[in-house]
């Protein structure tokens, strides 16, 4: 293989990796872990369904990232100087058409995994899976993208929190339970927090672009207060679920992640540069995966140690 061809393939692979925005995929991994962990308290693990759900969820979010990349470019919202974007089009010169092709390939694989999950469990899962894909498109695409409105955080929190958790729980247990519903609430809040942190980071960039995101309507200080409230409620609800004996005490392992969100509001208020804003956003994303992974581990320990 020639050196030029090797260099091209390496460059394309790196661009494709960035296009997936792997740091954002915590929002698709965490709900699958939590939903599965809650089901494992009383049901055996179906490994193939778990892996299929995990991969499909990640692929759908990756496709959403690509749709966002495409439409932000089409609307002239992205520039080479921006942080927090893949930059496949504006920095790496990938054609918009190529981005769309990769998006469709990604969605096709997710669809095939979804068909396997439905065939193994219930075709009702397809209804909610289709709703997730529709949200993925409407969030960034269409004449009035949800991401440009004050409802992006709430919509994403519901679509990627409760919906994914309930599907992950159902395909393992074969039914739903109050535990699955309640445990989805703190995760949904933390996913909404990621979207809010994203909009806080992009506040000055979004305002001239005509967007009406929550931070633009509330202002930076109030939006940061909302972010802090979402963090606090997530941990308080988890504690309440343990006190109500809906979750085992091992679920409190998630409290070990609390130092991460504790400093995020101060970071946002003190941030002066794009890099500082990006660091605050990344800590919000890390909060979700730390919270969810520790909760998953706690639920596994509870399952193992329960007679």
What are the b/e assignments for 169-198, b being 16+ CB within 10 Å?
Answer: bbbbbeeebebbebbbbbbbbbbbbbbbbb
Per-residue model confidence as pLDDT tens digits over 82-110: 555 556 777 667 788 888 888 899 999 99
Question: Using the 8-state DSSP alphabet, how is residue 147 labeled?
Answer: G
Round to the nearest angstrom and report the end-to-end CA distance of the chain: 59
* pLDDT > 60? residue 9: no
Question: Using the 8-state DSSP alphabet, how is residue 255 labeled?
Answer: G
For residue 221, the tally of other CB atoms under 10 A from its CB is 11
Per-residue model confidence as pLDDT tens digits over 249-276: 999 999 999 999 999 999 999 998 888 8
Residue 21 in contact with residue 83, Cβ under 8 Å? no
Residue 103 in contact with residue 70, Cβ under 8 Å? yes
For residue 210, name the pLDDT band (cuts at 50, 70, 90): confident
Per-residue model confidence as pLDDT tens digits over 144-195: 888 888 888 998 888 888 999 999 999 999 999 999 999 999 999 999 999 9
Residue 69 in contact with residue 86, Cβ under 8 Å? yes
Query: In the chain, what are the domains?
Result: 26-305 (1.10.600)
């Amino acid at each position: 293989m020639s050196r030029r061809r090797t260099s091209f393939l390496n460059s394309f692979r790196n661009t494709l990796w960035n296009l997936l925005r792997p740091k954002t995929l915590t929002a698709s991994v965490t709900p699958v872990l939590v939903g599965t962990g809650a089901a494992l308290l009383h049901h055996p693990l179906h490994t193939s369904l778990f892996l299929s759900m995990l991969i499909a969820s990640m692929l759908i979010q990756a496709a959403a990232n690509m749709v966002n990349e495409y439409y932000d470019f089409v609307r002239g919202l992205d520039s080479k100087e921006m942080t927090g974007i893949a930059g496949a089009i504006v920095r790496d010169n990938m054609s918009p058409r190529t981005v769309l092709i990769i998006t469709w390939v990604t969605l096709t694989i997710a669809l095939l995994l979804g068909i396997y999950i439905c065939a193994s469990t219930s075709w009702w899962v397809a209804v909610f899976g289709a709703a997730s894909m529709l949200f993925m498109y409407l969030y960034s695409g269409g004449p009035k993208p949800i991401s440009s409105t004050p409802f992006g955080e709430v919509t994403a929190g519901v679509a990627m929190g409760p919906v994914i958790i309930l599907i992950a729980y159902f395909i393992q247990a074969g039914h739903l339970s109050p535990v699955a519903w309640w445990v989805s609430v703190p995760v949904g809040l933390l996913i909404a927090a990621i979207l809010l942190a994203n909009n806080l980071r992009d506040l000055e960039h979004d305002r001239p672009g005509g967007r009406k995101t929550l931070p633009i309507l509330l202002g930076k200080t109030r939006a940061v207060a909302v972010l802090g409230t979402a963090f606090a409620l997530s941990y308080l609800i988890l504690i309440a679920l343990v006190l109500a004996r809906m979750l085992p005490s091992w679920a409190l392992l998630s409290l070990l992640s609390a130092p991460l969100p504790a400093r995020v509001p101060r970071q946002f208020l003190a941030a002066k540069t794009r890099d500082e804003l990006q660091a605050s956003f990344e800590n919000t994303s890390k909060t979700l995966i730390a919270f969810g992974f520790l909760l998953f581990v706690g639920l596994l320990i509870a399952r193992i140690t329960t007679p």
